[in-house]
Amino acid sequence: DAMVIQNPRYQVTQFGKPVTLSCSQTLNHNVMYWYQQKSSQAPKLLFHYYDKDFNNEADTPDNFQSRRPNTSFCFLDIRSPGLGDAAMYLCATSRDPNSNQPQHFGDGTRLSIL
Amino acid sequence: GDSVTQMEGPVTLSEEAFLTINCTYTATGYPSLFWYVQYPGEGLQLLLKATKADDKGSNKGFEATYRKETTSFHLEKGSVQVSDSAVYFCALSPYSSASKIIFGSGTRLSIRP
C-alpha cells in the first residue's frame, strides 16, 4: 500500500550528538512536512518542502535542519539535541499545498535524549 | 491569528454511548476543517474533512458539520466502541496559507467496555 514510512520508530541519542530521522513516501506527493509532537500536545510544524522549495517556520530553532534529496525522501537533522528536543517527530505529505488536500502522516519516530 | 479550540479531555464513556467533542475555530476567510485521530503509538490519520460552510464530513460512523455562523466543527458519533479510544485533533487549514494545518490541543477519548 502507498504510505508514509518513518525510520526508525524509536531513536535514542546522547545530549549534543547529531541525529538524523528519515521519512519516505510512495504517494508521489509534492509536499513533505516535519512536525514535533510533545506528550499530550498538538503537533507543531517545524518546516515543509514544496518540491525542492524549503519553507521554515519562524519559530523553528536553528538546531533543526532538513534535506529532501528527491521526491520520495526527506530527512530531519538535529545538530545538537538538547533534553527539550525529546519528542515524537511526525512526517506528513500532501499532494499539493491546497487547503482541500489532507495531509498523510507516518507513524512517527519517538526520540529520546540521554 | 488563526486558531482551534477543542474541549479538554480526557473524555471517558461507556460503550454504545453518544459522543460529542466540541471544536470551535478562529480564522479569516474560509478555511478547510479536519478531524484527525491518533491511536496509541501511531501517527495521525485523517478521520473526516469539510471544505465549505454547511458541508458534513463523515467516516466510520463519525460526523461533523462545518458551521460558519457559530465557527464550529463538532465531532459526533451515535454509538462509540472500545476501538474508538484514541486522541482526536480538530484542525484547520487557513485559506491564506493552505500548506499549513493548525491543530487544536487534542482530546483523549477512552471507552469502557
Give CA angle at A94 (B34, A57), nearest 5°: 85
Residue ranges in chain B whose pLDDT is less than 70: 96-99
CB atoms within 10 A of CB A77: 13
| Residues in B lying within 8 Å of A, measured between beta carbons | 31-32, 34, 36, 41-46, 49, 51, 89, 93-95, 98-101, 103-106, 108
Q: How confident is the model at residue A39 (pLDDT cuts 50, 70, 90)?
A: confident
Of A55, A99, A106, nearest to B31 by CB-CB distance is: A99
Q: Are the beta carbons of A98 and A38 closer than 8 angstroms?
A: no
Contacts of B36 in chain A (CB under 8 A): 105
Could you tell me how many CB contacts below 8 A there are between chain A and chain B?
55
pLDDT at A19 over 80: yes
- Nearest residue to B66 (alpha-carbon basis) of B44, B34, B95: B34
- Residue whose C-alpha is closest to residue B74's, from B88, B86, B60, B84: B88
Q: What is the band of A40 on the pLDDT scale with cuts at 50, 70, 90?
A: confident
Nearest to A101, CA basis, from B34, B103, B26:
B34
